[in-house]
């Protein structure tokens, strides 16, 4: 399309590009601030106020050394990894099975099962009744509370269902002719054809689980050994209690200065993996959001 | 081979017409087997809590259980409605949502429209990628940064002191700033990501329409208002309905991280109230009642907005 260049057009373009640059800048500043602070001299960092544009004093990795020697943070990291991998693997598997079931045309329970699942999207018991069910199952303060209750949800199941439904029936029919059972059809024939849908579910699960803190905070109040990283971060950043985490490091004189530095280092260590990975997975998030919007 | 195919075809035909349960059970044995764990999961983690809502009508005592506790009718609800905080909590819930509906919702659409006017593809892609980024940062970190920036000598406090000459305070200790802090941090985190849905709706608009309009002499602004905006209206309405439906449930975990007792007067909302009364003070019956009230209002809002949108804009999600 050929564009006419009028003065108002030029002005609009300048403003529009200017605004976009400004907005991108606003999005990046806090992240930049954290990364630069994490490399700064802790004493200067304590004294500074405002955005840290470049590392204060000599660049130091002292904070990171403390982080990687710290038992709490390593525990948190290990737990987060466990919960993320488990939920991405087992949760996606269950979601795929559920999605497969509600996409079978020749299955009598297809419609009732779908309604049964969809209803959970419309109405939920809420926080307290759910808490009581989980407590009566003896899951409070157990590792399993992070690994069972969040495995499936109606939203991802619908996403997988529509993926199965988009595939042509002929794949399934020819597989049936060759004598394949439902498991073989699902896992060996159909699933490889819808890698993209599965990837969407895996990506969302990974990010949500990595960043999740709320369930752990109510279901794992007493056992620090099972805490995900986000809870340790909450203790440092929100409750401003670095002592609990830094006790076994050098608790005395240096801790006053380093605690501030360690905060930033923990944020970097806890956030950067996702931030670095997501541009490569971006298209899956876009697909997911679009599917979600269409489906409601 | 042919026989087998015929039998399979017969089965499919039969299934559509309705075959007997016993036959279906035999044919789809594996499917029935796989259904069991799925159904169990939803029964335990979604439906059991729904039945657990019974305690909203009880003077629930953990030691006596659901079966042994006394029914008290609507006492828990009445306690909530007549409680000293009821109006404050309700006002805060609606104010925080109304601000988001009136400001961040349209801003997201405007951002998508503006981004659509960028012709340099590389530049557009980069801005998009950067603008999605905050969404992937965890709430804990976001709130940690908000707390740091709003502290007495924080970046945002400095900015406001210098520009508007406000009194230097910790912004999160002063009730009058909370709604705005919450709103702007929401916008910062969600604007780019929220625009994805509109950007993909815009990209589906046919190019021919724009070309025809351009030939007729419509400028870019006119094309945006008369072609792009009407084309994405169904998406806008859908998102609006969803937003109304989620009004009662969204944002609680962020407020839990940000608020403190000195700003309860503007920051306490229904979901934080439920969390404090239920999990911390262990008033299970009362909090379940408040939670049920919340769900009912939320579901009604969803249904009302859905009906309205079907009547007014001919789009609906349910």
Total length of chain A:
296
Mean pLDDT of chain A: 86
Q: Domains in chain A: how many in total?
A: 2
Put simply, the chain A residues between 200 and 229 with a CB less than 8 A from any chain B CB are 207, 210-214, 218
pLDDT at A293: 52
Number of neighbouring beta carbons within 10 Å of residue B127: 23
> Hey, is the C-beta of A97 within 8 angstroms of any chain B C-beta?
yes
User: Which of A162, A180, A196 is the last residue in one of the domains?
Assistant: A196
DSSP bridge partners of B70:
B59
Q: Is A268 inside a domain boundary?
A: no
> Are A33 and A107 in the same domain?
no
Q: Does residue A279 fall inside a structural domain?
A: no
Contacts of A3 in chain B (CB under 8 A): 119, 220
Residue of A nearest to B66 (CA): A132
Segment among A68-77, A189-198, B7-16 with least mean pLDDT: B7-16
Whether residues A16 and B140 touch (CB distance < 8 A) is answered with no
A13 inside domain? yes
* Tens of pLDDT, residues A218-246: 999 889 999 999 999 998 888 877 666 66
Please give the pLDDT value at position B29.
85
Does A286 reach chain B within 8 Å, measured CB to CB?
A: yes
Residues A10, A40, single domain; the answer is yes
What does the pLDDT look like over A82-140, one tens digit per residue? 999 999 999 999 999 999 999 988 888 999 999 999 998 888 888 999 999 999 999 99
Q: Residue A72: inside a domain, yes or no?
A: no
- Residues of chain B with Cβ-Cβ distance to A1 below 8 Å are 207, 210-211, 214
Do A150 and A189 reside in the same domain of the chain? yes
Indicate if the pLDDT at residue B201 is higher than 50.
yes
Query: Which chain A residues touch B123 with a CB distance below 8 Å?
Result: 17, 20
B230 CA: distance to closest CA in chain A (Å): 17
Q: Is A50 on the interface with B (CB under 8 A)?
A: yes
Distance CA A211, CA A80 (A): 9
ipTM: 0.89
More confident residue, A263 or B248: A263
State which H helix or E strand residue A189 sits in.
none
Q: Find chain B residues with C-beta within 8 A of A282's C-beta.
A: 129, 132
Q: In which domain, by residue range, is A186 found?
A: 82-196
Please name the residue that has the structure tokens 């499917």: B31
Question: Does A174 reside within a domain?
Answer: yes
Model pTM score: 0.88
Query: What pairs with residue B59 in β-bridges?
Result: B70
* Residues whose CB falls within 8 Å of the CB of residue B79, separated by 6 or more in sequence, listed in order: B286, B289
Nearest Cβ partner for A213 among B12, B140, B193: B140
What are the domain boundaries of chain B? 2-73, 77-313
Fold of B77-313: MetI-like fold (1.10.3720)
The sign of the CA dihedral B215, B220, B224, B228 is positive
A24 and chain B in contact, CB less than 8 A? yes
What CA–CA distance (Å, rounded) separates B94 from A276? 37
pLDDT tens-digit readout, A142-162: 999 999 999 999 989 998 998
Check whether B13 has a pLDDT greater than 70. no
What mean pLDDT comes out for the span A14-31?
A: 94
Q: In angstroms, how far is CA A109 from the centroid of its own chain?
A: 33
* Residue A278 forms part of a structural domain: no
Residue A232 lies in a domain: no
Helix (H) or strand (E) holding B86: helix B86-99
Nearest CA in chain B to A97: B34
The answer to whether residue A259 sits within a structural domain is: no
**24-43 in B: which are within 8 Å (CB) of A?**
24, 27-28, 30-32, 34-35, 37-39, 41-42
Q: Do B238 and A293 touch (CB under 8 A)?
A: yes
Comparing A166-170, B36-40, B136-140, which segment has the lowest mean pLDDT?
A: A166-170
CATH code for the domain of A115: 1.10.3720.10
Which pLDDT tens digit goes with each residue over A206-224? 999 999 999 999 999 889 9
Residues 59-118 of B with CB under 8 A from A: 111, 114-115, 117-118
CB-nearest partner of A104 from B19, B31, B132: B31
pLDDT tens track for B283-299: 999 999 999 999 888 88
Q: Which residues, including other chains, have CB under 8 Å from residue B42's CB and lie 6 or more apart? A: A116, A117, A120, A152
Chain A CB contacts of B238 below 8 Å: 293, 296
Structure tokens at A240: 């401003």
Q: Using CB atoms within 10 Å of the CB of residue B33, give its burial: 0 to 12 exposed, 13 to 18 middle, 19+ buried.
A: exposed
- Residues A93, A191, single domain; the answer is yes
Q: Are residues A113 and A186 in the same domain?
A: yes
């Amino acid at each position: 399309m050929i564009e006419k260049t009028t003065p108002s057009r030029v002005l609009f373009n300048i403003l529009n590009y200017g605004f976009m640059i400004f907005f991108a800048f606003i999005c990046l500043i806090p992240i930049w601030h954290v990364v630069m602070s994490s490399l700064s001299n802790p004493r200067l960092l304590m004294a500074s106020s405002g955005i840290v544009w470049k590392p204060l004093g000599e660049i130091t990795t002292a904070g990171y050394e403390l982080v990687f020697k710290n038992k709490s943070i390593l525990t948190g990291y290990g737990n987060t990894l466990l919960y993320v991998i488990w939920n991405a693997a087992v949760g996606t598997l269950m979601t795929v099975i559920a999605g497969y079931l509600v996409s079978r045309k020749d299955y009598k329970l297809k419609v009732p099962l779908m309604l049964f699942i969809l209803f959970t999207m419309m109405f939920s018991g809420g926080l307290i009744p759910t808490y009581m069910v989980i407590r009566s199952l003896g899951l409070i303060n157990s590792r399993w509370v992070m690994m069972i209750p969040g495995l499936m949800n109606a939203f991802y199941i619908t996403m997988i269902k529509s993926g199965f439904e988009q595939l042509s029936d002929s794949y399934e029919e020819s597989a049936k002719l060759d004598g394949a059972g439902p498991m073989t059809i699902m896992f060996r024939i159909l699933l490889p054809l819808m890698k993209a849908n599965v990837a969407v579910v895996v990506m969302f699960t990974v990010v949500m689980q990595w960043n999740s803190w709320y369930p752990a905070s109510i279901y794992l109040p007493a056992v620090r050994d099972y805490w995900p990283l986000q809870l340790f971060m909450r203790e440092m950043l929100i409750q401003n209690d670095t002592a609990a985490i830094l006790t076994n490091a050098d608790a005395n004189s240096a801790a006053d200065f380093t605690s501030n530095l360690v905060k930033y280092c923990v944020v970097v260590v806890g956030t950067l993996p996702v931030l670095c990975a997501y541009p490569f997975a971006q298209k899956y998030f876009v697909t997911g959001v679009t599917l979600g919007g269409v489906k409601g | 081979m042919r026989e087998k195919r015929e039998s399979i075809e017969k089965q499919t035909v039969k299934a559509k017409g309705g075959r007997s349960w016993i036959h279906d059970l035999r044919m789809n044995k594996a499917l029935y087997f796989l259904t069991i764990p799925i159904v169990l999961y939803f029964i335990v983690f979604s439906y059991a809590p729904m039945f657990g809502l019974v305690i909203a009508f009880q003077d629930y005592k953990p030691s006596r259980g659901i079966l042994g506790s006394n029914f008290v009718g609507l006492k828990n609800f009445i306690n909530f409605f007549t409680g000293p905080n009821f109006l404050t909590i309700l006002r805060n819930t609606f104010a925080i949502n109304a601000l988001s509906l009136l400001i961040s919702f349209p801003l997201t659409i405007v951002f998508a429209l503006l981004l659509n006017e960028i012709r340099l593809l590389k530049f557009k892609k980069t801005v998009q990628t950067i603008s999605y980024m905050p969404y992937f940062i965890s709430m804990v970190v976001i709130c940690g940064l908000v707390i740091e920036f709003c502290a007495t000598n924080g970046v945002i406090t400095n900015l406001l002191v210098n520009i508007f000459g406000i009194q230097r305070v910790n912004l999160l200790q002063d009730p009058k700033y909370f709604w705005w802090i919450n709103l702007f941090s929401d916008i910062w985190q969600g604007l780019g990501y929220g625009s994805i849905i509109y950007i993909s709706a815009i990209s589906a608009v046919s190019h021919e329409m724009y070309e025809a309009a351009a030939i007729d002499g419509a400028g870019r602004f006119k094309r945006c208002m008369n072609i792009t905006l009407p084309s994405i209206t169904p998406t806008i309405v859908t998102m609006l309905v969803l937003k109304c439906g989620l009004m009662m449930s969204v944002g609680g975990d962020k407020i839990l991280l940000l608020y403190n007792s000195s700003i309860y007067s503007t920051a306490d909302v229904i979901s934080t109230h439920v969390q404090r009364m239920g999990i911390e003070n262990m008033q299970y019956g009362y909090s379940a009642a408040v939670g049920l009230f919340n769900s009912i209002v939320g579901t009604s809002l969803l249904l009302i907005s859905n009906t309205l949108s079907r009547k007014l804009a001919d789009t609906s999600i349910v």
